Amino acid sequence: MATALIILAAGMGTRMASDMPKVLHQVAGAPLLVHAMMSGAALSPEHTVIVTGHGAERVGPIATAFDEAAEVVIQEDRLGTAHAVAQAKNALAGFSGDAIVLYGDTPFIRPETLEAMIEARSDHAVVVLGFDAADPARYGRLVTKGDTLERIVEFKDATEAERAITLCNSGVICADAETLFDLIDAVGNDNASGEYYLTDIVGLARDRGLSASVVRCDENETMGVNSRIDLAVAEAAFQTRARTELLTLGVTMTAPETVFLSHDTVIGRDTIIEPNVVFGPGVTVESETTLRAFSHLEGCHVSRGSIVGPYARLRPGTELAENTKIGNFVETKNAIIAEGAKVNHLSYVGDADVGAHANIGAGTVTCNYDGVFKHKTTIGAGAFIGSNTMLVAPVTVGAEAMTASGSVITTDVEDGALAVGRGKQTNKSGLARKMFEKLKSKRAKLGKG
């Protein structure tokens, strides 16, 4: 059966103390909203509707950047969760299938959990996602009888016996779309807050003789993010889970608690990650690589057998072929480094192609930016770039060519040639001593000792 997602993302997030909409705050390099969309995307939904409100002009583009087919609707007046879901009705006009209501500030619900809700829908009109809370606190309670959900009771309205129930409401609901909107149309706002609550549809469904049920999940899946404290807790939870998954898949981390991963990090087995390595979005690392301490990777691809770091920075557009070496205090950006090439230390390689088995000496800089445009440097296979070479792009150094240390290379170097681009050295006898004496005398006159 076809599925539609309705993701509520209209809240202001007052407790975030932020000008940014709550759902755009990030965990593991991706907005909370994108995490929720990723969970739902595993169901291959026919429709995805994002209900925005506060900051809609910022939320909408993020949603459509992740899924260009997503439809964004605006809840002008925020009158409760049922009212928010009702804003998706026109977007789903004519849709026949199940609708799942998710929340843009609840990033960790697993696709497997949503699949279980879809499966349960074959036997029940309404399915609610619940969790057994270690500390139920003020969560709404799910009152069940066997596998049937009788009603949802808000904490403030619950009896002592109902408050003793540990099965709590996550807010996530699945129902046939037509039934969902039909029930929402019947929801009233006769309550202390004057709001239309989505939870009321369970009681309405039961009154109509429709069955409701609960699918249980781990409490961690339903973690909502409402404050900076929650955001930090969510980040820690993500990192713990992601590190554990990598360790299970055969990745070695000598100090896993110091390694920080992105939502889309991919790392092959038998890779070794030393302490304090940070992954930004868009990183793929193949098997049997070594990532040494204090390195930062973002938007790059590292092939099998390569060694990176320590203290290396791989920026977006970096492509390392097999068995390459990027050493300490090296930065790369938009650079293709071919098999077996080495950039060992203290160099910047940007907007460049480096050929197989080339060697880039310490202190080399590809001078790629003229203040307006970026330019490309090409280094041929087997070339040797001497230490402290400035390669002023656009420039090509041919295969098996060499540059002398301390050179400034401004024109192309043919295959096999040696390029020397230094100013002529002259030595002025005794001049250094005279200059020091003059400077020391001047300092003494100024009373600086």
Taking all residues of the chain, what is their mean pLDDT, rounded to a whole number? 95
CA gap 407, 390 in Å, rounded: 6
Domain boundary among 175, 206, 222: 222
In a shared domain, residues 67 and 162: yes
Q: What percent of the chain has pLDDT over 90?
A: 88
pLDDT computed for residue 143 by the predictor: 92
Residue 449 within a domain: no
Query: What is the arithmetic mean of pLDDT over 215-236?
Result: 95
pLDDT computed for residue 448 by the predictor: 64
In a shared domain, residues 216 and 239: no
In a shared domain, residues 194 and 247: no
Residue 153 has pLDDT above 90, yes or no: no
In a shared domain, residues 75 and 154: yes
Give the confidence band of 383 by pLDDT, cuts at 50, 70, 90: very high
Residue 425 within a domain: no
Which comes out higher in pLDDT, residue 304 or 160? 304
In a shared domain, residues 165 and 240: no
Residue 442 within a domain: no
Give the confidence band of 445 by pLDDT, cuts at 50, 70, 90: confident
Domain boundary among 203, 222, 241: 222
Number of domain units in the chain: 2
Query: What is the arithmetic mean of pLDDT over 385-391?
Result: 98
In a shared domain, residues 335 and 408: yes
Residue 394, preceding bond cis, omega within 30 degrees? yes
In a shared domain, residues 189 and 210: yes
Domain boundary among 166, 192, 222: 222
pLDDT computed for residue 58 by the predictor: 95
In a shared domain, residues 294 and 374: yes
Residue 26 within a domain: yes
Residue 410 within a domain: yes
Residue 240 within a domain: yes
Residue 1 has pLDDT above 80, yes or no: no
Task: State the catalytic residue, choosing from 263, 296, 345, 357.
Answer: 345
Residue 388 has pLDDT above 90, yes or no: yes
Query: What is the arithmetic mean of pLDDT over 367-382?
Result: 96
CATH of the domain at 145: 3.90.550.10
Angle of the 177-185 helix axis to the 200-207 helix axis, nearest 10: 100
Residue 192 has pLDDT above 80, yes or no: no
In a shared domain, residues 173 and 149: yes
CATH of the domain at 335: 2.160.10.10
Report phi then psi at 397, rounded to 5: -110, 120
Sequence-distant (6+) residues with CB within 8 A of 23 are 9, 11, 13, 31, 32, 33, 36, 59, 104, 105
Residue 156 has pLDDT above 90, yes or no: no
pLDDT digits (tens, 9 = 90+) for 117-136: 999 999 999 999 999 998 88
Query: What is the arithmetic mean of pLDDT over 39-45?
Result: 95
Query: What is the arithmetic mean of pLDDT over 67-88?
Result: 94
Q: Which of 91-105, 181-195, 251-265 is least confident?
A: 181-195
pLDDT computed for residue 449 by the predictor: 58
Query: What is the arithmetic mean of pLDDT over 254-271?
Result: 98
In a shared domain, residues 291 and 198: no
In a shared domain, residues 339 and 195: no
pLDDT computed for residue 128 by the predictor: 96
Residue 437 within a domain: no
Residue 388 within a domain: yes
pLDDT computed for residue 158 by the predictor: 85
Query: What is the arithmetic mean of pLDDT over 306-322?
Result: 98
In a shared domain, residues 335 and 202: no
Catalytic-residue membership of 357: no
Query: What is the arithmetic mean of pLDDT over 438-449?
Result: 84
Query: What is the arithmetic mean of pLDDT over 32-38?
Result: 97
Structural domain boundaries enclosing 332: 228-419
Sequence-distant (6+) residues with CB within 8 A of 207 are none
Residue 352 has pLDDT above 90, yes or no: yes
